[in-house]
Amino acid sequence: MEKVRRSIIAGSWYPGEPSVLTSDITGYFNNVPDVEFEGDIVGLVAPHAGYMYSGQVAAYAYKLVCGRKYDAVILIGPSHRVAFSGVSIYSKGGYETPLGVVPVEEHLAADIKKGDKIIVEFPDAHAQEHSLEIHLPFLQIALGQFSFVPLVMGDQSPAVCGKLAEAIYQAVKDRNVLIVGSTDLSHFHNDKKARDLDGIVLDHIKNFDPEGLLNNLYLDKTEACGGGPMAVTMLVSKKMGAHHSQLLKYANSGDVTGDKKSVVGYTSAIYYR
């Protein structure tokens, strides 16, 4: 396979040994209470920190798609390492994790890329970016074999979010896909301040309100490093007929480390029809 992006965070952000990685993710799933759920999940939001900090939060969303079948996964994350305009798509090859290579759904990637000129090939945006790779082992355990389209947002403005959402929808509207938005929430505030800021995002998740979320992010009333990916996930999910949202879990790093003076917030949620 050409253009395989090698893992950059296995062995640090999550276990590099396949058996340990599988065991850890299975353990996270086992710690999630069973939920009676009916509906077709078309979108989910999950965090992208190291598994020690946010793996259990992510498991609340990924457990609900275990065993489901999708034509492809659209995985959208923010750029932490490289500044650029628009959205970078990785349209050929695959991403490697210790559990194997996840192939890019190249025909779907081509269709999405044709959807708007903001979507470009910019490999540097993917080379050192953790916000997509961190989700793949969860998806590999939950779904088994699957293909995906990786998208990194260099620009998370409302205009770019709207254009990306429409390009994705036009490409996937006749397909059974899962949209995944990768985001953490507020960074490095004390526990109380973090919960106040994160509560604003959680309200927008509960209310299925991407426009309100983007507006409050723009006005600096709240924080989410993947606010754009989260909003795009909501926008596409709505276009695909999802009418319901469910906030599954919220926590911050202080709940793991015990340090409440400087925390990072995490949440997971689903959008379904």
Cα–Cα distance for residue pair 43/136, rounded to 1 Å: 15
Domain that holds residue 122: 4-32+41-272
What pLDDT score does 159 carry?
96
What pLDDT score does 196 carry?
96
The residue ranges of DSSP E strands in the chain, in sequence order, are 4-5, 41-46, 72-78, 87-89, 94-97, 100-103, 119-120, 148-153, 177-182, 187-189, 244-252, 263-272
What pLDDT score does 1 carry?
58
What pLDDT score does 108 carry?
98
**pLDDT under 50 in the chain at which residues?**
none
The alpha carbon torsion through 48, 226, 179, 15 (nearest 10 deg) reads -10
Q: pLDDT (tens digit, 9 = 90+) per residue, 141-155?
A: 999 999 999 999 999
CATH of the domain at 106: 3.40.830.10
- Quickly count: other Cβ atoms within 10 Å of residue 110's Cβ: 15
Q: pLDDT (tens digit, 9 = 90+) per residue, 173-225?
A: 989 999 999 999 999 999 999 999 999 999 999 999 999 999 999 999 999 99
DSSP, residue by residue, 178-193: EEEEE----EEE-HHH
| Amino acid at the residue 232 | V
The predicted model scores a pTM of 0.96
**Residue 209: helix, strand or coil by DSSP?**
coil
How many domains are contained in the chain?
1
Assess contact for 120 and 86: CB atoms under 8 A.
Answer: yes
